Structure 1
Amino acid sequence: MIGFDNDGRAYIIKEFYQRKILGSQLAEIAKKEFGNVKYIADSANPDAIEEFKKIGLNCVGVKKMKNEREENFVIAGIRRVSGHLQIQGDKKPRLFISNNCPMTIAEFENYSYPENKENKSPSEKPLEPFSHAMDALRYALMSRETPLFFGSLDMTRPKPPAPGEPEKKDEKNRIAFG
């Protein structure tokens, strides 16, 4: 589960991690563990999104540009995560991970790229074994509204509600899965 504060900082506070699970099983577990929050999924997996919707959960596919190659989307997402890891003017990053998320932490520690043996241009796409939590994080960060990026500086800042208006709930609680 990823929450965002009013300054656009992301907090990974809870995780569910299991490989080779059916979309219907994941939807049932998500409903029980996390409740009715906004779920972000890979738009390339419409069957899983449908399973969430079947049981009344708000699940949307992460928006990719029309005809965008998957590799380009992955690289853009990695850059978004990297931007959130940069120390900002207040001496803090824009991404925090709870100790209650050991698999997410392990993926950060083990995230790696192919070895460049032939002096070719290195691929920015990571190796697959440690990417499920990273995929979910990328989906959540890429789903944020009005992101502005200049180099590695992340300028994401949600619009505050007008006086007397409640905050948008779906901007505070999001769950993404990969």
Structure 2
Amino acid sequence: MKIRTIKLSLPEVVGRGYATFWNFKGRYRVCKGSRASKKSKTTALWYITNMMKYPDANLLVIRKTYRTLKDSCFTELKWAIKRLQVEAWWEIKESPLEMTYIPTGQKIYFRGLDDPLKVTSITVENGVLCWAWLEEAYEVMNESDFDTLDESIRGEVPEGLFKQWTITFNPWNERHWLKKRFFDVDDDNVLAMTTNYMCNEWLDESDKKLFETMKKNNPRRYSVAGLGNWGIVDGLVYENWREEAFTPISQKEYNKLDDKNDKKYVILDSLKTTSGLDFGYTNDPTAFFMGFLDLENKKLYVWDEMYKKGLSNKAIHNEIVMMGYSKERITGDCAEPKSIDELKALGLRIRGAKKGKDSVMNGVQWIQDLEIIIHPRCINFLTEISNYTWETDKFGKKLNKPIDEFNHLMDAMRYALEEYIIGNKWLI
């Protein structure tokens, strides 16, 4: 049997800026970085290279919600396999997500925190589970959730192998537990580093221009999204929220349950279903909000979301249908009347928001009186609401309007609740 030999230069394949990251063998390898900083691609290249180097190593890849893995870590690892020209040695499955290194049977497992039992119950067939990659770690709001994950990488490893977490994220909020846990300590077992787009030699001039424009027009965002610095969050618009898992159910279904104590149930019979849509495309995501409003007790249950860039109106329709919300009444951004009409023609029950003078502040003030309970799977909603702050002037004085960022789902929520905010009736 003839074996094809591939000769690659890792520095040429991987690029610069990550030598320390690549060679570190301590327990926690933590990298916060700006957009386009290569942190995820470098991580993917490291894992494919080193799984082929260490025949007993297996990898667990985790994000807060399983459904986000396919378009992120799974895709990055497939890209790394192709870039290293080793496709013939890897078997890739999409249902469920899994990758196998054929010569040894080593595996890459993919799990979401939304199914914790599947995270803690992994048993590997060959070798040991010694490596884990937590991508977009900022989504994990509770440190105790990470502690539970950390315990899954335990036990002895063969000589020459080592146990290690790789934790990658965008540093939106300096108050996040990640800063205190990894960046504010002096520990030889922790590598905490910051990277940015300037170490990415594969960006072209148009890519770099985006950051230079951001630097000029939005210095606050550039500091985080451009340089990878911690986001300074001061003066949140909404402080009346909490993250909590819940299960929506009808009273009839609830009455049939034998065990009503193991989950937090929300009875839907007296609640109002609310849906809102904020349009985006190239630079901003299209954001769809789905929630349940308890008017009597002034509670809003945030149940589901869609948050994607580059969607045509047909694709928006398909996403909403696939999510199971094709029959819901949706209020969309009236600044896109053509899109509203197209979505209506495609069969969605959608209308444009009324807006009007002071509609943003009126909506914000109304929502501030609610208790907002956010399902943990709504990761983009959690990111936005924990970073949605008041605008400031050049002297640092807070203005009576929110910032024009972290606001796509915030706007979609406001559209969804508009008929209750201004008291109008829904017209079909």
Taking structure 1 as the reference length, the TM-score comes to: 0.65
Match in the other structure for 2:346: 55
3-state DSSP class of the match of 1:106? helix
Residue type of the alignment partner of 2:411: D
Match in the other structure for 1:46: 337
Q: Which runs of 5+ in 2 are unaligned?
A: 1-289
Residue type of the alignment partner of 1:44: A
| 1:123 matched to 2:389 | no
From 329, 353, 360, the equivalent of 1:74 is 360
From 68, 83, 93, the equivalent of 2:369 is 83
- Report if aligned partners of 1:14, 1:100 keep a CA contact under 8 Å in 2: yes
- Report if aligned partners of 1:80, 1:141 keep a CA contact under 8 Å in 2: no
Match in the other structure for 2:316: 26
Describe how 1:122-161 pairs up with structure 2 within 5 A: 122-144=398-420, 147=423
Match in the other structure for 1:4: 293
From 391, 395, 399, the equivalent of 1:114 is 391
Structure-2 change in CA distance of 1:3 and 1:24 (3 Å): same
Residue 131 of structure 1 and its aligned partner are, at CA, apart by 0.5
Residue 143 of structure 1 and its aligned partner are, at CA, apart by 2.2
Structure-2 change in CA distance of 1:31 and 1:119 (3 Å): closer
Residue type of the alignment partner of 2:363: G
Residue type of the alignment partner of 1:26: I
Match in the other structure for 1:105: 382
Bigger mean CA offset, 101-110 vs 122-131: 122-131
3-state DSSP class of the match of 2:304? coil
- For 1:44 and 1:117, locate their aligned partners in 2 and report how far apart those are by CA, in whole Å: 29
- For 2:322 and 2:346, locate their aligned partners in 1 and report how far apart those are by CA, in whole Å: 11
Q: By percentage of residues, which structure has more strand? A: 2
Matched pairs, number:
133
**Deviations 1:125-144, CA, capped at 9 Å, x for gaps:** 22222110100111112222
**Deviations 1:76-134, CA, capped at 9 Å, x for gaps:** 111122111xxxxxxxx2x22111101101101111222233477x4322222211010
3-state DSSP class of the match of 1:35? coil
- For 2:366 and 2:341, locate their aligned partners in 1 and report how far apart those are by CA, in whole Å: 27
Residue 30 of structure 1 and its aligned partner are, at CA, apart by 0.9
Match in the other structure for 2:247: none
Kindly report the root-mean-square deviation, in angstroms, between the aligned alpha carbons of the 2 structures.
Answer: 2.3
Residue 61 of structure 1 and its aligned partner are, at CA, apart by 1.4
Q: Which runs of 5+ in 1 are unaligned?
A: 85-92, 148-169, 171-178
3-state DSSP class of the match of 1:144? helix
Match in the other structure for 1:164: none
Higher-Rg member (1/2): 2
Residue 15 of structure 1 and its aligned partner are, at CA, apart by 0.6
- For 2:400 and 2:309, locate their aligned partners in 1 and report how far apart those are by CA, in whole Å: 24
3-state DSSP class of the match of 1:128? coil
Residue 37 of structure 1 and its aligned partner are, at CA, apart by 0.8
Percent identity over the alignment is 27
3-state DSSP class of the match of 1:14? strand
